[in-house]
Structure 1
Amino acid sequence: MTSEQPTDVRREAASAVTPEQGATTAEELAYRLRQQELTAEFGLFALKTHDVQALLQEATEVCGEGMKTRLCKVMQYQPDEGDLLMRAGVGWKPGYVGVARAGADLGSPAGYAFQTGEPVISNHLQGETRFRTPQILVDHGVKRAINVLLRSGKDKFGVLEVDSPVQGRFTGTDLAFMQGFANLLGVAIERQRSEGALRTSDAQLRQALEHQGVLTKEISHRVKNSLSIVASLLSMQARASDHDEVRRALADAENRVQTIAAVHDRLWRTEEVHSIDLAEFLGGLCQQFQAAGPEHAVSYDIAPVLISTDDAVTLGLLANELVTNAIKYTSPKAEGDIRLTLTPLGRGELRFEVRDHGPGLPAEFDTTKSKSLGMKLIARLGRQLGGKPVWQNSNPGTRFVLEFTP
C-alpha cells in the first residue's frame, strides 16, 4: 500500500509517584498514566488467556501495581454459603487465597459494595464506624481499602478490593481507575464463561462463538474509551496551565495516549484480534498523522505483512514517536517531507524506515547520552521488537532504520 499523507504529536514524563507519597503534579500525572498503561496491557492479556483462575490472579497483580500497593484480591460470591471467598489475591500470607472468606452482608465493606453496587472507600479502618473490619484485614495490618462491585454480564460475580497497610488516602481518581478496571475484568470473565459454554453443547456452538466475538471486541473498545478519557483530561490540564513547558509535556502525553487508543479502536473493529495487517494499520496511522498536522507531508510504502497484535502496537507507537520527532525538526511543505517504509527482507525479517528532509543529525549526536524521553522511548520500543535502532544522516535529513523479526 502506498499513499501520500501527514501527522500527530506526543510528551515528556516523570517518575510515577502516588499522591500520598508527596507527588508533584508531574509525578502524579505519570502515576495516572501508568494506571492506564496497565489497564491496556491487562486488556491484551485478557484477550489471550483461556484460564479463569489465571485471569483473576493477573488482575489482582496488575491492579495492585496500578494502585502502588502489595495487597489486592478478588472476592467471589458463594450463593450456597451466602458469603465472599477470596478467589485470587496478591500479597497475602500463605493459606489465605482460596480459603479466606468475608461477609456478604451490609455490615462488611466488601458485602456493602456487593449488595448495593456502590463503591466503598475506607481511609481509616481503625476508626471506621460504618462497617466491621474483616479479620483478614486485621491480620495483615490494613489501614485503608477500596471495594468495587465486579459484574459478569448481568450477574454479580463478587468484589475487587485493594488494601494498603500504609497510612494515606485513596481518592476519587483511584476509585475511577478501580471501577474501570473492574468493568474490564467483568467483561473478560463473561468471555471466559462463554468459552465454557462452547464446550457444553454443539447446539450452542454458533451462538457462543458470536457472543465471544462481541465480548472480545468489547474489551478492546473499553480500553480504547478509557484511554480516550485520559487523553481528554490531559488536554484539559494543558489548556488550564500557564506554563509553556507544562503545556507541551501534557500535549505530548495526550498524543501518546491517543495513539494507544487508536490501536485499540482498530482492534475492536477487526474480525482478527491476534494479528494485524501492517499495510492497513500503519497506513491508517499515517492518515491520522495527516489530519492532525496538515502542514507536513507524510508519504508511506508499507508491505501487506501480518504480525502479532503486540508487535503491531509497539511498531505503531514507534512510528508515532519518529514522525512526531521529525515534525519538530523538519520545515513544512518540503518535497517528500517525511516518509515511512516497511519492507520484507526474507527469512521472516522486516526493515522499517522513517526518513525526513530536515537539518540532519548534529555532529555530537549520541542516542546513549540523550536525556529526551522521546529518544529513550524510541530505543526501548526498538529493543522490544528485537532489533537495534540505527540513526543515519541521509543528506538531506535523517533516516531511522530498524531491522527485526516479528
Structure 2
Amino acid sequence: MATPPGQESVLAPVAATAVTRQELPYRLRQQSLLGEFGRSALQTRDIGQILQRATELCTQGLETPFAKVLEYMPDEKRLLLRAGVGWAPGTIGQVSLGIDMESPAGYAFHTGQIVISNHLQEETRFRTPKLLSDHGIKRAINVLIARGGEGNLPFGVLEVDSPDSGQFDLADADFLAGFAGLLGIAIERQRADADLEQALEHQAMLTREMSHRVKNSLASVVGLLRLQGRNAQSEEVQNALKDAASRITTIAQVHDHLWRSTRIGFVDIADFAGELCRKLQETVAHKVSCTFGHLMISADKAIPLGLLVNEIVTNSAKHAYPDGSGEIQVSGERRGADLHVEVSDQGIGLPNDFDIDQPRASLGFKVIKSLLAQLDGRIAVASNTPKGVTIQLDVPLEASAD
C-alpha cells in the first residue's frame, strides 16, 4: 500500500519510479555522470565552476530543469543560492533561504539526512520556500554537502527540484548524495590549497622582511668601516677596510635582491650582477661593463659568486692599469649544467712566472680560491693577446635553476 502523499519519511522508500522510464539505462546514465563530474572536479581549482558543473550534471541525471547549491553563510545564518540551473535571472548569488527545521533545505542542513519531498503542495512536514513556489516546483531532494575535519560546519545543501509530477526515489537520492560527497572533497581541497597558499605567502613575507633587515644592518656595518677607513693613519689599513666594506656591500646587495625577488631564496643573476658592476664602477677608476643572461640562482650561490666577481674586478682595478684607466668586462651565461663567468681586461697582464696555485699568490687570489671552493667551481687564468688577462669561472648550478 502506498504511503499517503506528503507523509514520506525523509529516508523511507517512496513510490516506484514512473513506468515510462527505463530503469537500467537511467541508472547507468547517473553513474556515468558521477564519473564525469569526479574527473572534471579534479581538473580545476575554481570552486565556482565546480559547483555550477555539479548542478548542471545533476539536472541531467535526474531529468529535471532545476538544481542549486545552497552555501551556508554563518554571519547571516542563511543558505545563499551559490550556483544553479533553471532559476530566474538575478537569483543566483542574491537569493537566500532560512536554515530553520521547517524548510526542507534547513532540515537537511541541521540533521544531515536526505530529504525527499514528492508532493510539496501537500507537504505537512515542511513549508515550501517562496523561491520554489514562484517557480512552480512540485518535488525536491535535498542532501547535505559536508566538509572534512572534526568540528567543521557543513558547506551547505545540494538540491534538485522539478515542476512536474513524478517520484524521486532513494536511488535518486543516493545519486545526489554522491555528487554532494564529491563536492565536499573538492571544497575541502580548495580550503586546504587556500590555507597552504596563505602559509606560503606569510613565509615569503617573513623571508623578504628578514632579507630586508639583514641588508639594512649590513649597510650600517659598511658605513662604520668606511668611517674607520677615512680616519685610519695607515694606507694599508685604509685599503683593508675599503676592501672589507666592498665585500660586505656585495652581500648586502644579495639580500636586497632576495627581499624583492618573486622567488623565495633566489635572485636573478642578470639583475644582481648588473647592479654589482654599477656599484663597483663607483669605487674604481675604470669602466666596468656587465653582460649576463637571466638565470635564477639561490642565495647560497649568489653570495660567494658576487664576492668572487667583486674580488676579481677589484684586483683588476688595482693591477691591470697602473698608468691610467681602462675597461673591465664581466659576462656570464649558462653552459650546460654550469654558470660560466668571465672577467677580462686589456691591462698589462700577469707576470710570466704567475701561478695561482703557488703559496706566494696574492691575498686576493687566495680569497678567490677559497670562495671558489665553496661553490665547487673551477677557475682558469690566461693572458690575452696582445695584452690583458681573462679569468674564467665555471660554477655548477642547482637542478632548480632556470
TM-score (norm 2): 0.47
Structure of higher RCO (CA pairs closer than 8 Å, 6+ residues apart):
1
Q: TM-score, normalised by structure 1?
A: 0.47
